[in-house]
Amino acid sequence: MNEIPCASMLRLCHYFVSICSVHFVSMIAAESSFVFRNMAEASSDVMDWPKKDNRRFLHVVYRVGDLDRTIQFYTDCFGMKLLRKRDIPDEKYSNAFMGFGPETSNFVVELTYNYGVSSYDIGTGFGHFAISTQDVSKIVESVRAKGGNVTREPGPVKGGNSIIAFVKDPDGYTFELIQRGPTPEPLCQVMLRVGDLDRAIKFYEKALGMRLLRKIERPEYKYTIGMMGYAEEYESIVLELTYNYDVTEYTKGNAYAQIAIGTDDVYKSGEVVKIANQELGGKITREPGPVPGIGTKIVSFLDPDGWKTVLVDNKDFLKELE
């Protein structure tokens, strides 16, 4: 038998190694491409979830120093109704839910009284709530008669024709009164100040599936507003994000707490929020799951400016109202 020379054998081995290496690298590249493509598709599916979800503003939560006093004031001055009230002595707090319609369809306020705490710091970041009414002057006079603080008398908004006024409740929360025709949602705005409006808009679009309904530039007053929501501004509650020129940070205080929004799946919604947090800022403060002792599934998180939102399972929320 003829033997193959050593040099030829080495060249042959190198050839086969080269062929195998190229084939192996090609297999790895193909596999990696497949994996990354599937990851991208999965990420895309996750981020599409808010557009398919049934989202609705449920309530806004904030703390008050005298629950009965606030209930009386909102009833007499704003025309709200007490929808339900609960006392949790083990946790040393009480809640009252008030609004202009049932919680199954309307946005409401959740007032929280912590035993023995009579006052709170509202901070500089919280702006105001807004109520739509057909007669601003009537509410202003009611507020004045009940000892409330009228901080802006009724009159046209600067640069426009809409009649507005500003008043404060007994705890110092500001309410804007806006004169409009009949609306299914009189409690129509929550205004929060942000340090980067474009970033905040992107976050609420991505994390919560909201739409930018309107953007208002007011360079003469050095501020810009973004109106965010799930339906047209005159039909539903909107989140009013306000950017004051050159102001990037605000104090949160300990009075305003959070907004609650309904979702069909807190687990899917939580995944979306995590991706938005990674890209734009903020963090999950409570992982998706049931609340001990209640069973209602929620997920809570902070936006890039530190404002808290809680997503609540829609079916579980309705069970709470039964």
Q: Which of 103, 176, 185, 240 is catalytic?
A: 176
Asked if 253 contacts 307 with a C-beta cutoff of 8 angstroms, the reply is: no
Asked if 262 contacts 54 with a C-beta cutoff of 8 angstroms, the reply is: yes
Is 240 catalytic? The answer is no
Alpha-carbon torsion (5, 6, 9, 11), positive or negative = negative
Pick from 206, 301, 312: which is nearest to 266 by CA?
A: 312
Asked if 286 contacts 299 with a C-beta cutoff of 8 angstroms, the reply is: yes
Asked if 48 contacts 42 with a C-beta cutoff of 8 angstroms, the reply is: no
Contacting residues for 313 by C-beta, under 8 A, at least 6 apart: 262, 263, 264, 265, 266, 296, 297, 298
Alpha-carbon torsion (309, 226, 130, 222), positive or negative = positive
Give buried/exposed letters for 149-176 (b at 16+ CB in 10 A, else e): ebeeebeeeeeeeebbbbbbbbbebbbb
Number of Cα atoms under 13 Å in the Cβ half of residue 233: 14
Contacting residues for 127 by C-beta, under 8 A, at least 6 apart: 174, 191, 192, 193, 240, 242
Secondary structure of residue 56 in the 3-state scheme: strand
Distance CA 233, CA 238 (A): 6
| H or E segment and range at residue 53 | none
- Radius of gyration, CA atoms only, the chain: 27
Q: Would residue 281 be called left, alpha or beta, if left means φ above 0 and alpha means ψ between -120 and 50 degrees?
A: left
Structure tokens at 76: 């007499």
- Residues belonging to the active site: 176
